[in-house]
A and B are shown apart, each in its own frame.
Chain A
Amino acid sequence: MALIKAQNITKDYQTEDVVVHALQEVDFEIEPASFVSFVGPSGSGKTTILNLIGCLDKPSAGNLRIADTDVINLGRKESAAFRGKYLGFIFQDFNLIPVLTVYENIEYPLIMVQNIAPQERRERISRMLAAVDMTDQAHKYPHQISGGQKQRVAIARALVTNPALVLADEPTANLDSQTAYAVIGLMKKMRDDFGTTFIFSTHDTKIVGEAEVIFRLEDGRLVGKETKGGTKS
């Protein structure tokens, strides 16, 4: 069964004088453990669709089910709880908590969002630190490490709660291309190791080649889907 099922998703933004149609009648399904990218030029609606999937925003019309939950009708607190349980987030600007060390940043969702016992917490964090190769930087603060390292920590933070789905809006936009490939590679490896679904957005046509399922967006419309192996639709 599909992990995400989006039907006829429309999102309009009401600005002062015009209505912006950020998404128009978007339909798609995403299978568990897939490695998906939304690609398109700036303003095509990538952030909007990721915000909807991430339960941070509600569509103007359409249906959206994630992990068998009708996420459109969740209240504010229920949304937060749902995000904490099923979703992980990776941000363009890394968004680590500056007053917490690498270790504590990864620990944060285990204490503040979920309520994981200390012993298991320690095990999970060391596993994650090893997986993103940051074990020897664990005691450092975010301002003491590089952008690529920050994004690796962010990946660890997103994955430490064992989410079903990790969302990453332009995760490589602030990284040089070599680091960008490394970060996407790491995300893919994590998908392989943990079976987590990854959805990332990018406007970088080279990076997008790393994805296994590619959705192309243009002016708020889904204009194409490619699956690795060459199937186009």
Chain B
Amino acid sequence: MMNLFKIAIRNLIRYKRRTLLTASLITIGVVFVLVFVSITGSFKAMMIGQITDSMLGHLQIHRKGYVASIDNLPLNLNMKSQAYAKVATVLDATPEVAAFSPRLKFGGMFSNFVETTNIRLNGIYPDREFQTVPLLTSRISEGKKVLNRGEILIPILLAKGLNVKLGDTVVIVATNADGSVNGKQFIVSGILESATGPGGRDGYVHIEDAAEVLRMPEAEVSEVAIRLKDFSRLPTAVKQLETKVAGVVNKEGRSMFEVHSWEQLSPFFNIARMIDVMTFFIKIMLIAIVLISIMNVMIMAVYERIREIGTIAAIGTLPGKIRSMFIIEGFCLGIVGAIVGGLLGSAVILIVNLVGIRFDFGQQQGLLLKATLNPNDLLTVSVIVIFVAVAASLQPAIKASKMEPIEALRHV
């Protein structure tokens, strides 16, 4: 075995230029894929982080039917306080859950006594909300990073459009569940930067204030946003909560709640999927590069060495050994490409991080792209390259092992 490697490596060195060319081609492919996978992966993770951590949460629970008509923010599909209490009990008993925040969502009119416009509002318990979506406070560009009773956080576009400043008094008017209308004054305590996706341009008030505007004796809950301890366990957590919540039934015995992950709630999920598809095709391209280049080199190697093959076959080398000899040669090429490509790729990613690439995403500007290389990706790409290198050597190697020694020896 050692000898097979020795012969393979010496043969690779013997055709230095060709080996170098092929190895560099594979290396470039590996570097390209790693950098692409790392940057898109980091971009994806970052965007998902932005979306889940600044407004959506990792997953949400609503009363059945709420999400289907979420655009209207229907008041008649809220959970009553007993229903919410049941959900809260379930969540409290689920160890995966890091934090959860009940929200009372409603649409209303926003007036600065001069002009009036529409606004979508979330009534929240500030502490719980900030724990569930920790990046929300970072969106408060002006003002304090807290929210007290009687205060309102308004989206920046609204502030600009109506020329509203911090500390201004504004009025919120909303239609109640029974059709009557009620209003309440608020002090603007913060301006919120927009976030991409639904709910990215909502305002926030205290949930008790929201209940007061809506004339609810006890605050109802439109949705419960949930943050998990481990985001990577999202699918299992969704399943777990679905079964747990399905056990909570109404008087008719039908389950009352529905569980949605961020993926079902944000259109960015489609972009994330697109990135995955692109990564997949890039990997296919890498496979094609490795396959074609290694196959090409190995076919040439076999052709050039027909007489050598005839010689070693004549003196009694078994076909299997001849086959291994060429497969190992392709394997070594793959290894070199994978290792050098891996090192170079990691270096490029390091440089990308050192240089610090900034980009804009929707209203958010100057986000710093932190490219991280997942060791799993490095491993996967290396394994793919080596596997494909071996597969590409198979046909030429088999051809070599099947040569008739006398014909091979006659070859000039």
Beyond A91-B409, A100-B10, whether A80 also contacts B313 by CB under 8 A is yes
Which B residues lie within 8 Å of A104 (CB)? Answer: 6
Beyond A51-B406, A95-B307, A95-B311, whether A100 also contacts B7 by CB under 8 A is yes
- The reply on A40 being an interface residue by CB < 8 A is no
Q: How far is the CB of A95 from chain B (nearest CB, A)?
A: 4
Asked if residues B3 and A112 are in contact (CB atoms below 8 Å), the reply is yes
- The reply on A232 being an interface residue by CB < 8 A is no
Beyond A91-B409, A99-B10, A112-B3, whether A81 also contacts B318 by CB under 8 A is yes
Cα(A88)–Cα(B314), bound, Å:
9
Asked if residues A98 and B308 are in contact (CB atoms below 8 Å), the reply is yes
Cα(A89)–Cα(B312), bound, Å:
10
Which A residues lie within 8 Å of B317 (CB)? Answer: 80, 84, 112-113
Could you say which of A51, A91, A93, A109 contacts B316, with CB atoms under 8 Å apart?
A109
Which B residues lie within 8 Å of A51 (CB)? Answer: 406
Asked if residues B319 and A88 are in contact (CB atoms below 8 Å), the reply is no
Beyond A95-B311, A97-B312, A99-B7, whether A56 also contacts B319 by CB under 8 A is no
- The reply on A206 being an interface residue by CB < 8 A is no
Cα(A77)–Cα(B319), bound, Å:
7
Asked if residues B314 and A56 are in contact (CB atoms below 8 Å), the reply is yes
Could you say which of B11, B14, B321 contacts A112, with CB atoms under 8 Å apart?
B321
Cα(A111)–Cα(B13), bound, Å:
22
Please report the total number of B residues contacting A with Cβ < 8 Å.
23
- The reply on A65 being an interface residue by CB < 8 A is no
Q: How far is the CB of A34 from chain B (nearest CB, A)?
A: 22
Q: How far is the CB of A23 from chain B (nearest CB, A)?
A: 14
Cα(A85)–Cα(B313), bound, Å:
13
Asked if residues A84 and B316 are in contact (CB atoms below 8 Å), the reply is yes
Cα(A187)–Cα(B317), bound, Å:
24
**Total A-B residue pairs with C-beta atoms closer than 8 Å?**
69
The residue on A at minimum CB distance from B406 is A56
Could you say which of B11, B307, B314, B406 contacts A99, with CB atoms under 8 Å apart?
B11
Q: How far is the CB of A32 from chain B (nearest CB, A)?
A: 20
Which B residues lie within 8 Å of A89 (CB)? Answer: 311, 314-315
Which A residues lie within 8 Å of B307 (CB)? Answer: 93, 95
Cα(A158)–Cα(B7), bound, Å:
19
Contact bitstring B1-37, A, C-beta under 8 A = 1, else 0:
0010011001101100000000000000000000000
Cα(A76)–Cα(B319), bound, Å:
9
Cα(A93)–Cα(B405), bound, Å:
15
Asked if residues B315 and A83 are in contact (CB atoms below 8 Å), the reply is yes
Which A residues lie within 8 Å of B3 (CB)? Answer: 108, 111-112
Chain A residues 148 to 176 lying within 8 A of chain B, measured CB to CB, are 157-158
Which A residues lie within 8 Å of B319 (CB)? Answer: 76-77, 80
Cα(A111)–Cα(B318), bound, Å:
12
Contact bitstring A100-140, B, C-beta under 8 A = 1, else 0:
10001000110111000000000000000000000000000
- The reply on A210 being an interface residue by CB < 8 A is no
Cα(A113)–Cα(B322), bound, Å:
11
- The reply on A45 being an interface residue by CB < 8 A is no
Which B residues lie within 8 Å of A76 (CB)? Answer: 319
Cα(A111)–Cα(B312), bound, Å:
12
Could you say which of B10, B11, B315 contacts A84, with CB atoms under 8 Å apart?
B315
Known: A97-B311, A100-B7, A113-B315. 15 other contacts (CB 8 A): A57-B406, A77-B319, A80-B313, A81-B318, A84-B317, A91-B311, A93-B307, A95-B310, A95-B311, A97-B312, A99-B11, A100-B10, A108-B315, A111-B3, A157-B315
Interface residues of A (CB under 8 A from B): 51, 54, 56-57, 76-77, 80-85, 87-89, 91, 93, 95, 97-100, 104, 108-109, 111-113, 157-158
CB<8 Å pairs between A and B, sample of 29: A51-B406, A56-B314, A56-B405, A56-B406, A56-B409, A77-B318, A80-B316, A80-B317, A80-B318, A81-B318, A83-B315, A87-B315, A87-B316, A89-B311, A93-B307, A95-B307, A95-B310, A95-B409, A97-B7, A97-B308, A98-B308, A99-B14, A100-B7, A108-B3, A108-B312, A109-B315, A112-B312, A113-B316, A113-B317
